[in-house]
Structure 1
Amino acid sequence: MTEALLEVRGLRTWFETPRGTVRAVDGVDLTVGRGEILGLVGESGSGKSITGFSLLGLVDPPGRVIEGEIRFHGEDLRAASPRRLRDLRGNRIAMIFQDPMMTLNPVLRIGTQMIETVQAHARVSKAEARAMARDALGQVGIPHPDERIDAYPHEFSGGMRQRVAIAIALLHKPDLIIADEPTTALDVTIQSQILSEMQALTRDMGLGMIWISHDLGVVGQLAHKMAVMYAGRIVERGSVDEVLDTPRHPYTRGLIDSLPMENDRGQPLRQIPGNAPPPLNRPEGCPFRPRCAHATDACLAEPEETGTPDRAWRCFHPLGSRLTEVPA
């Protein structure tokens, strides 16, 4: 059994607006173990990033976590004081953002920012902090770290800036990293290099990771487990191989079918009909019902999760069942 670093049960994060309540995250369960990468996938607006921010207590008003358990090494983070959360952020739990400039200050040298980050959580000298920063830069593949540590962010390419952001996340050898689509804006070659390095770091350091993405190809290459999110809920979860090879939820099947590699050359790309429901006007029952070819009157009710602790889905007519089989 993999040691559980993070256990999330029934997480709900809502935003109270003048037009009504936005249920951005509406009952999410997640488990991440040591040395394990969980891919959290779904369309834009499905609630993936808000889930990540909720875990770190970074949701600003009018949003708030209204319900659920968030346990890190067994500690209830929802009951933690603001000071305790500050101690954990960037130390035992780190976050990598899609845009590295959300991490980097453009007017400060890389070394200055990394040294400040080290000394915020560890009582070490400036020389020791600089050595830790230099080693972290080398760890993520930045050449000549002794020289590059004195550069400014604008002197790095986009891929190198993202590596710096990853190095900052690794400074204190955290137990858990939450990565919010950190390779989306990078070219394929750089993306592949970073994915390979993240796999190696996770394996060698024994840390856990949540990799948030809308790209099934990236998650399939990187992660061990996958959770598919739609309209604020996890609609399917399991090992990467199980979910990609035998999807049970029609939404998961639609995401897979929309990949270019799953379409015939020269033919239009297959896509899921319609659009994700607006947060303030979600349909009754299963939120995927208006876009689903298998929907029946039963789907007017909210489906409960079915399956096992390691492999589950939310659907009244899961793929492979009698009602969804297509005649030969």
Structure 2
Amino acid sequence: MTRPILDVRNLSTHFTTRRGTIKAVDDVSFAVGQREIVGLVGESGSGKSITGFSILGLVDPPGRVASGQILFDGQNLLDLPSRSMRQIRGKRIAMIFQDPMMTLNPVLSIGTQMIETIQAHETVSRAEARARSRDTLGLVGIPSPEERLDAYPHQFSGGMRQRVAIAIALLHRPDLIIADEPTTALDVTIQSQILFEIKRLAQEFGMALIWISHDLGVVAALADRIMVMYAGRIVEAGPVDGVLARPAHPYTSGLLNAVPAAVPRGQPLRPIPGMAPSPLDRPSGCSFRDRCARATAVCAAEPALEQAADREWRCFHPHAGRAA
């Protein structure tokens, strides 16, 4: 991996409720190199999105970052005052959200929103900001970008709205983009087009990318490395080809075996049994042990992080072979 642009160390994000404390992110550590694309995968509720929100300082009360460090270009973001964090957010670290209609203002034209985004961080004329907005819309494949600047979000299709959201994230050519399942609601044809554009633009502008998803197929096509998250912790990480071809953690194998393309035609899928534990009542030791066919008495203890070459995992009984 190249020199890390982002180095997350022992990050924990908690939510305090009347019933107790939810450890949404529990002692998570990882690094992202410059120009690297990293996939963060797992079931809903595993802590993927909260990890992204924690990096950007977007966790609202009753949530809080309880401990850890988030080193961006060597600077701990958790030590920065709100004003300094706002200067980084959007300019050097951008985020693409899952639903663009939740982030685009329905009563402002696309051009107005893009121009305001530029002028929030740079002292440029409105004409210059509009020209850059137009050019960026063209980069993400929106036809007639000059005309579309005057359109409103409801006048775009779902795929085009997502392209607008990507364009807004690209306006300042950030060092890092965090993409939170931005293609989930799109059909496969539009999804493929957007994945191609994202990968091309990341390479062209030298940006690092964290792609949060539950879709292993998308991550396999896009990422250099993959991190598998379960119950608030990263349970396996490594190069995407190696992890998907020879998963070490039983949870990773379970995710792969539940993908329809991995099962012979006419055969039933093999879903992971049971459900993820409640964040308010997680079992001691390995959080996956109640759903794991390989679990033994030793799994009642907390598994340590094991490392071999460029792979790491948390499991007492790692798989030695391929996933089905």
Bucket of the pairwise TM-score, normalised by the shorter protein: over 0.9
Residues in 1 aligned to 2:170 and 2:250: alpha-carbon distance in whole angstroms: 37
Counterpart residue identity of residue 145, structure 1: P
**Residue 142 (str. 1) matches residue 142 (str. 2):** yes
Which residue is equivalent to 1:21?
A: 21
Which residue is equivalent to 1:41?
A: 41
Residues in 1 aligned to 2:196 and 2:309: alpha-carbon distance in whole angstroms: 29
Which residue is equivalent to 1:120?
A: 120
Alpha-carbon offset, residue 13 of structure 1:
0.2
Deviating more after overlay: 307-316 vs 268-277: 307-316
Equivalences for residues 206-217 of structure 1 within 5 A = 206-217=206-217
Q: Deviations over 1:214-263 (max 9, x none)?
A: 00000001000000000000000000001000100000000000000111
Alpha-carbon offset, residue 310 of structure 1:
3.0
Which residue is equivalent to 1:174?
A: 174
Residues in 1 aligned to 2:308 and 2:120: alpha-carbon distance in whole angstroms: 42
Show structure 1 runs of 4+ deviating over 3 A: none
Residues in 1 aligned to 2:120 and 2:305: alpha-carbon distance in whole angstroms: 42
Equivalences for residues 227-238 of structure 1 within 5 A = 227-238=227-238
Residues in 2 aligned to 1:309 and 1:161: alpha-carbon distance in whole angstroms: 41
Equivalent pairs counted in the alignment come to 323
Q: Deviations over 1:21-80 (max 9, x none)?
A: 100000111111111110000000000000000001110111100111100000110101
Alpha-carbon offset, residue 268 of structure 1:
1.3
Residues in 2 aligned to 1:147 and 1:59: alpha-carbon distance in whole angstroms: 36
Residues in 2 aligned to 1:103 and 1:60: alpha-carbon distance in whole angstroms: 16
- Identity percentage of aligned residues: 68
TM-score by structure 1 length? 0.97
Alpha-carbon offset, residue 7 of structure 1:
0.4
Residues in 2 aligned to 1:302 and 1:73: alpha-carbon distance in whole angstroms: 32
SS of alignment partner, residue 228 of structure 2: strand
Residues in 1 aligned to 2:194 and 2:296: alpha-carbon distance in whole angstroms: 44
Distance 1:2-1:53 versus aligned 2 partners, 3 A rule: same
Which residue is equivalent to 2:67?
A: 67
User: Once superposed, what is the RMSD of the aligned Cα atoms?
Assistant: 1.3
**Residue 270 (str. 1) matches residue 258 (str. 2):** no
Residues in 1 aligned to 2:55 and 2:74: alpha-carbon distance in whole angstroms: 14
Which residue is equivalent to 2:94?
A: 94
Residues in 2 aligned to 1:226 and 1:100: alpha-carbon distance in whole angstroms: 25
Residues in 1 aligned to 2:143 and 2:93: alpha-carbon distance in whole angstroms: 26
SS of alignment partner, residue 121 of structure 1: coil
Which residue is equivalent to 1:279?
A: 279
Residues in 2 aligned to 1:65 and 1:25: alpha-carbon distance in whole angstroms: 9
Alpha-carbon offset, residue 102 of structure 1:
2.4
Residues in 2 aligned to 1:59 and 1:304: alpha-carbon distance in whole angstroms: 28
Residues in 1 aligned to 2:281 and 2:134: alpha-carbon distance in whole angstroms: 50
Residues in 1 aligned to 2:146 and 2:5: alpha-carbon distance in whole angstroms: 34
Alpha-carbon offset, residue 308 of structure 1:
4.1
TM-score by structure 2 length? 0.98
Alpha-carbon offset, residue 309 of structure 1:
7.1
SS of alignment partner, residue 196 of structure 1: helix
SS of alignment partner, residue 120 of structure 2: helix
Equivalences for residues 151-190 of structure 1 within 5 A = 151-190=151-190
Q: Deviations over 1:103-142 (max 9, x none)?
A: 2100111001100000000000000000010011001000
Residues in 1 aligned to 2:139 and 2:30: alpha-carbon distance in whole angstroms: 29
Equivalences for residues 243-262 of structure 1 within 5 A = 243-262=243-262
Residues in 1 aligned to 2:151 and 2:35: alpha-carbon distance in whole angstroms: 33
Counterpart residue identity of residue 167, structure 1: A
Which residue is equivalent to 2:108?
A: 108
Residues in 2 aligned to 1:309 and 1:155: alpha-carbon distance in whole angstroms: 50
Q: Deviations over 1:155-198 (max 9, x none)?
A: 10000000000000000000000000000000000000000011
Residues in 2 aligned to 1:257 and 1:76: alpha-carbon distance in whole angstroms: 39
SS of alignment partner, residue 307 of structure 1: strand
Counterpart residue identity of residue 152, structure 1: Y
Counterpart residue identity of residue 123, structure 2: R
